[in-house]
């Protein structure tokens, strides 16, 4: 079981300390996106990096639309690797959709997660009459269609929208490369699950202390969404970052590290 999970999710463990810090990447990414973040914690924590099945260097033969047709399949990846490593009282740092995966895991196994850190979270991406998610249904349909017709053109279009920071174009170029490294079919399926899942009703069930890091401008998960998540999770703290863009752990790694460290030390 241990070796199977370690291989399946390409799990890496390093660092010192008693408490485990587990980093979960967002849609279209893999553990590489934590390369400027994770090393800052290895002196005080045992750090766990992994890839969800279908992403990065995970075992893609383990992917199935049945299991990964909802966020609960990805939640099970997280629970599986924590069980394989006998992890308890972890700090889970989740970016984007991983924030919701972490929330679902904490609801199911609150004893396993000591704290949640959510970076650019969104429980629901679609606009409704009484809720602003940032996207109309036609936007999501168009995005999914574009992924199916021409995946590389979709990646080229999306990367600068996600990254922002036009003064540093290399950020968008590097993120485009990360997106293009994915299997297009699996990536489209993960995108559909990400952008159509509705976790809003689950947020009030989260009982663990939670830090929400909200970039000041985020085209994917706007500030209104960050405030909504904060209002729904009772024991949460919302910090609006100086960073702009949906990937502050890539574009503003120093600020991201500083805020997470301050929260864990408080």
Catalytic residue positions, numbered: 96, 218, 246
In whole angstroms, give the CA distance from residue 207 to residue 190.
Answer: 27
- Report whether 206 contacts 200 (CB < 8 A): no
**pLDDT confidence tier of residue 92, bands split at 50, 70 and 90:** very high
pLDDT tens-digit profile of 245-259? 999 999 999 999 999
| Every domain of the chain and the residues it spans | 2-265
What CATH superfamily classification does 2-265 receive?
Alpha/Beta hydrolase fold, catalytic domain (3.40.50.1820)
Single pTM value for the model: 0.97
pLDDT of 122-138, one tens digit each? 999 999 999 999 999 99
Ramachandran angles phi, psi of 50, nearest 5°: -155, 165
């Amino acid at each position: 079981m241990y070796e199977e999970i370690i291989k399946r999710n390409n799990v890496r463990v390093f660092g010192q300390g008693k408490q485990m810090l587990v980093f979960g990447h967002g849609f279209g990414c893999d553990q590489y996106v934590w390369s400027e973040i994770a090393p800052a914690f290895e002196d005080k924590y045992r750090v766990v990096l992994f890839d969800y099945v279908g992403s990065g260097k995970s075992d893609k033969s383990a992917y199935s639309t049945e299991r990964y047709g909802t966020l609960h399949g990805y939640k099970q990846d997280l629970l599986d690797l924590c069980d394989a490593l006998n992890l308890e009282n972890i700090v889970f740092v989740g970016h984007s959709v991983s924030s919701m995966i972490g929330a679902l895991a904490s609801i199911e196994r609150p004893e396993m997660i000591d704290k949640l850190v959510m970076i650019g979270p969104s429980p629901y991406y679609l606009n409704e009459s009484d809720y602003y998610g940032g996207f109309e249904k036609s936007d999501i349909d168009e995005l999914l269609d574009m992924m199916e017709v021409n995946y590389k053109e979709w990646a080229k279009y999306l990367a600068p929208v996600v990254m922002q920071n036009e003064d540093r174009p290399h950020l968008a170029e590097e993120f485009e490369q990360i997106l293009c490294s994915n299997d297009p079919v699996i990536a489209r399926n993960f995108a559909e699950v990400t952008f159509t899942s509705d976790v809003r009703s689950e947020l009030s069930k989260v009982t663990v202390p939670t830090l929400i890091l909200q970039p000041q401008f985020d085209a994917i998960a706007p500030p209104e969404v960050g405030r909504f998540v904060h209002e729904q999770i009772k024991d949460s703290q919302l910090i609006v970052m100086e960073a702009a863009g949906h990937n502050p752990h890539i574009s503003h790694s120093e600020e991201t590290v500083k805020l997470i460290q301050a929260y864990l030390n408080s």
